[in-house]
Structure 1
Amino acid sequence: MSNNSETIKALNELLQGEYMAVYSFNNFISRLKDENAKKTLQEVQKQHRENIDKLASYIQSIGGQPDENLGMKGSMGEMMLNMDLGSSSDMEEVVKKAIEGETKGVNMAEKVLRGDLDDRSRDIAGEILEKDRKSIEKLKKLLR
């Protein structure tokens, strides 16, 4: 595989997004009083943790090293999220921010999928994309 380092780089980008999601959901969950909403957000967060495990294992299996550091982009994203939400614990506002974050994650996964990936990497990125889309639907149900 000649483009292995490009594949690892792309998958690590996806991994970063999954870590950002887990951290963001910690923030969202801590703000909510509504137990049903909290439970739904915890389910979505659990899915992101499973995505992390799958991605990290796969990156290692193809000879790469998973980048398990949020980095500057993640730190800045977290800071912006806190500024956006302020001290809000309004369920609708928190859920809307969670949907916004999930949508950014889907866009990032789509970008990775358009890259030059081998079939197995494309399958894994596609699975994550599909799960993230389902998570958005799950979150949208909280707003109905």
Structure 2
Amino acid sequence: MDKKQIVDTLNKLVEGQYMGIHAYENFIENLDSSSSLLSHFIEIRKDLEQHAELLSKRVQVLDETPKSSEGIIGKIELFISQLFDSSTSEQDILKHAIKGQNLYGIKMTEELVSNKLDEESLCLVHEILQKQREHVDYLKYELHSRTSSQ
């Protein structure tokens, strides 16, 4: 396994975690301060921060420098999504969070890491993916409970 490929893949995952952190910061800003979702979204953001830190430490163990932001492409994508996803209803925020976690958090990660990581890095990524799946399950439950109560 090529060390450069492993580090490049891990750094792309770090950038993805920063994209998620910033997306959740945006969600948090758009939630009403009395929303029952607020504390859960703050917790998910903290998990993403921890994931970025764990991935960064793994890059450092491989004697390389980890990324420290979502990168220029991530900034552009985040800016565009903020232009078009400015809804502040809890249901819309939940839908955007589910889409982001599923598409960017899970599916893209699975595609990105395919045959590109060493065993230790892959174990770390699987732990992160498991946590992200738990987040999606929670978000779907919350969306369903809000939709069915109307």
Q: TM-score, normalised by structure 2?
A: 0.89
Correspondence 1:1-144 to 2 at 5 A? 3-33=2-32, 34-86=34-86, 88-103=87-102, 104-143=104-143, 144=145
Residues 74-99 of structure 1 show CA distances to partners (whole Å, capped at 9, x for unaligned) of: 1111112212223x211100111011
Judge conservation of contact 1:41–1:139 (CA < 8 Å) in 2.
no
Judge conservation of contact 1:59–1:65 (CA < 8 Å) in 2.
yes
Q: Tell me the distance in 2 between the aligned counterparts of 1:112 and 1:124.
A: 14
- Secondary structure of 1:98's match? helix
Q: Tell me the distance in 2 between the aligned counterparts of 1:116 and 1:52.
A: 18
Judge conservation of contact 1:59–1:66 (CA < 8 Å) in 2.
yes
Task: Flag structure 1 segments of 5+ consecutive residues without an equivalent.
Answer: none
Question: Identity rate of aligned residues, in percent?
Answer: 25
The code of the aligned residue for 1:26 comes to: E
Moved more, 30-39 or 7-16: 30-39
- Secondary structure of 1:35's match? coil
Q: Tell me the distance in 2 between the aligned counterparts of 1:8 and 1:70.
A: 16
Structure 1 stretches (4+) deviating beyond 6 angstroms?
none
Q: Tell me the distance in 1 between the aligned counterparts of 2:13 and 2:35.
A: 30
Equivalent pairs counted in the alignment come to 142
- Secondary structure of 1:12's match? helix
Judge conservation of contact 2:14–2:70 (CA < 8 Å) in 1.
no
Residues 40-89 of structure 1 show CA distances to partners (whole Å, capped at 9, x for unaligned) of: 11111111011011111111011111011322211111112212223x21
Moved more, 25-34 or 77-86: 77-86
TM-align CA RMSD: 1.3
CA positional deviation for 1:116:
2.3
Q: TM-score, normalised by structure 1?
A: 0.92
- Secondary structure of 2:116's match? coil
